[in-house]
Chain A
């Protein structure tokens, strides 16, 4: 390699160093913001007149959280929620990508189904929860049904967009060089569509998690959402807050993992 690529490489690493620096700065501000909120919470509940029924002291919440983790009490509820999430996401990812690909094969079916799915996607699907409970009962099945119906649409729509709007010049040039149908799919359509599908899968995963946790708080027999509501109804506020903190941590972890998976796959 000559000097030119090396030069670009060093310039790139300099740029990256600069970006890391500013990223560190904004991380510090974010951390300070969260700490300030916690501080206000502590001062307000320790020295202020805030009822512990409305807002328990963070130290008590912390003690409860430690107890929840130490006794492994959370495991059974977490397992229910994660199984619901995994089942719902597997169903919507498989069917969404498959259907999206099939629809993208013809301009006619894109014209028919894309506006239809986009229309349904904009409906607040949580409204179907009472119906799903009637159909599937209070157990995990109704949560899975809701998770599937919220996450299917972003996945299928992004798959249609990914496969359906590949630059014509890519297809023409591949065909002119003799690409077979399989080669066209493997080396042109798939890499062109991949990043867009990945975004659809990440959005689908996030909305599935949101709707499953949410529906557990409305009507359920088990799961993290169920536990939180149950503790609230029993006025066990500190423990309820501990579970909320735990659920938030789980959601943050899962979303961070999917985002970084997406970013890594994109870089390739």
Chain B
């Protein structure tokens, strides 16, 4: 595949927290390499603490890896790239002292969008996520699902080619995340954006992703990449199809032994140090 079809190239990235031999020492990621195509939605899935979020933060430039490099387009990532990459965090990333509209505007101000362009772009992205009527509400007045829609609107308004999503629906209930997943599939199929999406839900991964990268237990590395060959936008009918079930089962089999391993690791390290591992 030609290099310019690749949005993100992850090359032999390793990362560790703390100094070797110290109590806090955790080898989070080991020699991870991954190519992410322009316009695809790639899900990262794996046992908790395997380094999925670490990889996402390395791609986003919020974390400098111990070794290896990440290229976004042809630029090496050395810090946040606000013009190329937008983030949607798990929760609590909207500023509670600003309204939804002000939150979206602030993001664009940080990014450097001229003042006159901000308002129309904010209105447009709020309309895209169905929050036009709640522009003047404060985040505390919205439900968890609506807050995540607002966070998505903020990311969309930045008009970046890449959006990184770190378990964006992780704190929501099953029904809300199902509806949001459907809406996201519809919304993103139109935009042609490159999405990297961290989740621990097998169903969510199969439903949303073009490809699913399965992480091994710590030190995390990518064990296998599964293609989900189903056109976007995906309908809720896909969720009950045999194809969906088969893919979900394949993922489950891949993950199952890694989750066991990860659990054994964490009980062993707790017994050894009395401390806990870091994600």
B95 touches A176 (CB 8 A): no
Identity of the chain A residue whose Cβ is nearest the Cβ of B158 in the assembled complex? A177
B97 touches A173 (CB 8 A): no
B160 to chain A, nearest CB (A): 10
Task: Report chain A residues within 8 Å CB of B61.
Answer: 176
B97 touches A191 (CB 8 A): yes
Which residues of A155-191 have CB atoms within 8 Å of chain B's CB atoms? 167, 169-170, 172-180, 183, 187-188, 191
B133 touches A167 (CB 8 A): no
Give the number of A-B contacts (CB < 8 Å). 68
* Max chain A Cβ within 10 angstroms of own Cβ: one of B60, B80, B85, B141: B80
The docked-state distance in angstroms from the alpha carbon of A192 to that of B94 is 12
B28 to chain A, nearest CB (A): 17
B59 to chain A, nearest CB (A): 11
B62 touches A1 (CB 8 A): no
CB of B109 closer than 8 Å to a CB of A: yes
CB of A4 closer than 8 Å to a CB of B: yes
CB of A5 closer than 8 Å to a CB of B: yes
CB of A2 closer than 8 Å to a CB of B: yes
The docked-state distance in angstroms from the alpha carbon of A180 to that of B86 is 16
Which residues of B144-181 have CB atoms within 8 Å of chain A's CB atoms? 158
Looking at chain A's contact residues, is the secondary structure mostly helix, strand, loop, or mixed? helix
CB of B134 closer than 8 Å to a CB of A: yes
Assess A1 versus B133: contact at CB under 8 Å? Given A172-B93, A176-B87: yes
Task: Report chain A residues within 8 Å CB of B90.
Answer: 169
The docked-state distance in angstroms from the alpha carbon of A183 to that of B89 is 20
A161 to chain B, nearest CB (A): 16
B137 touches A5 (CB 8 A): yes
B144 to chain A, nearest CB (A): 14
The docked-state distance in angstroms from the alpha carbon of A1 to that of B106 is 22
Task: Report chain B residues within 8 Å CB of A194.
Answer: 97
B62 touches A176 (CB 8 A): yes
Identity of the chain B residue whose Cβ is nearest the Cβ of A174 in the assembled complex? B110
Q: Which one, A172, A179, A180, contacts B89 given CB within 8 A?
A: A172
Which residues of A1-22 have CB atoms within 8 Å of chain B's CB atoms? 1-2, 4-5, 8
Assess A178 versus B111: contact at CB under 8 Å? Given A169-B92, A173-B87: yes
* Max chain B Cβ within 10 angstroms of own Cβ: one of A2, A180, A187: A187
B133 touches A177 (CB 8 A): no
Q: Which one, B80, B92, B97, B112, contacts A176 given CB within 8 A?
A: B80
Task: Report chain B residues within 8 Å CB of A177.
Answer: 80, 82, 86-87, 106-107, 110-111, 158
* Max chain A Cβ within 10 angstroms of own Cβ: one of B90, B93, B107: B93
Identity of the chain A residue whose Cβ is nearest the Cβ of B155 in the assembled complex? A177
A169 touches B93 (CB 8 A): yes
B93 touches A191 (CB 8 A): no
The docked-state distance in angstroms from the alpha carbon of A72 to that of B97 is 46
The docked-state distance in angstroms from the alpha carbon of A133 to that of B120 is 64
A176 touches B133 (CB 8 A): no
Which residues of B75-134 have CB atoms within 8 Å of chain A's CB atoms? 80, 82-83, 85-87, 89-93, 95, 97-98, 106-107, 109-112, 133-134
Identity of the chain B residue whose Cβ is nearest the Cβ of A192 in the assembled complex? B97
The docked-state distance in angstroms from the alpha carbon of A2 to that of B60 is 37
Task: Report chain A residues within 8 Å CB of B110.
Answer: 174, 177-180, 183, 187
A170 touches B93 (CB 8 A): yes
A263 to chain B, nearest CB (A): 15
CB of B136 closer than 8 Å to a CB of A: yes
16 A-B contacts (beta carbon < 8 Å): A1-B133, A5-B134, A8-B141, A169-B93, A170-B92, A172-B62, A172-B87, A176-B61, A176-B85, A177-B86, A177-B158, A178-B80, A178-B82, A178-B83, A180-B110, A183-B109
Which A residues are closer than 8 A to B by beta carbons?
1-2, 4-5, 8, 167, 169-170, 172-180, 183, 187-188, 191-192, 194
Which B residues are closer than 8 A to A by beta carbons?
60-62, 80, 82-83, 85-87, 89-93, 95, 97-98, 106-107, 109-112, 133-134, 136-137, 141, 158
